[in-house]
């Protein structure tokens, strides 16, 4: 499955909690998330992702996520 979405919204499209306390979003120029769904089974998905996201605490610190993966995420339509 391949899908590319570009947005002009001022709200982040992607959110990621890191270290339990920090929340990073795709809120700045250059931020992105790439999500690959490798399988869909009984309404759930497995896959991998990479991302460059910015901390929403105002520091503008960035995190590069590599080798991210997810399993059994419920598909909501």
Measuring CA to CA, how many Å separate 28 from each of 7, 14, 36?
Answer: 12, 11, 22
Which domain covers residue 35, as residue numbers? 15-74
Tens of each residue's pLDDT in the chain, 77 residues? 455 555 555 555 666 666 667 777 777 888 888 889 999 999 999 999 988 888 888 788 888 889 989 999 998 87
The domain tally of the chain equals 1
Nearest to 12 by CA among 59, 52, 46, 48: 52
Is residue 4 in some structural domain?
no
Q: Has this prediction a pTM greater than 0.75?
A: no
């Amino acid at each position: 499955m391949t899908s590319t979405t570009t947005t002009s919204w001022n709200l982040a499209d992607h959110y990621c909690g890191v270290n339990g306390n920090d929340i990073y979003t795709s809120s700045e120029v250059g931020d992105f998330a790439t999500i690959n769904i490798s399988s869909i089974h009984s309404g759930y998905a497995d896959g991998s992702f990479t991302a460059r996201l910015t901390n929403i605490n105002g520091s503008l610190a960035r995190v590069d996520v590599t080798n991210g993966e997810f399993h059994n995420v419920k598909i909501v339509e």
